Chain A
Amino acid sequence: MDAVFKALADPGRRQLLDELRRKNGQTLTELRGQLAMTRQAVSKHLAVLERANLVASVRRGREKLHYLNPVPLHEIYERWIGKYERHRLQALSDLKKSLEERKE
Chain B
Amino acid sequence: MKTSKFVYVIYIRTTPEKLWQALTDPKFVRKYFFGAVQESDWKPGASWQLKTPDGRVADSGEVLEIEPCRKLVLKWRHELRAELRAEGHTRMTCEIEKSGSSVKLTITHEMDRARSKFIDGVSEGWPPILSSLKSLIETGESLEETRTWPEEL
Contact = CB atoms under 8 A, between A and B. Distances in A.
Contact of A69 (B3, B5, B8, B128): B8
A24 B6 contact: yes
Interface residues of B, number: 20
Interface residues of A, number: 16
A65 to B, nearest CB: 8
Nearest to B9: A56
A83 B131 contact: no
Report whether over half of chain B's contact residues are helix, strand or loop; otherwise say mixed.
mixed
Contacts of B6: 24, 67-68
A70 interface: yes
Contacts of B143: 78
Contacts of A25: 3, 5, 7
A24 B127 contact: no
A88 interface: no
Complex A-B, nearest 8 residue pairs according to Cβ-Cβ distance, in ascending order: A74-B127, A67-B7, A56-B9, A56-B7, A71-B10, A74-B131, A70-B127, A71-B127
12 contacts: A24-B5, A24-B6, A25-B5, A25-B7, A56-B106, A69-B9, A70-B8, A71-B8, A71-B126, A75-B131, A78-B131, A83-B144
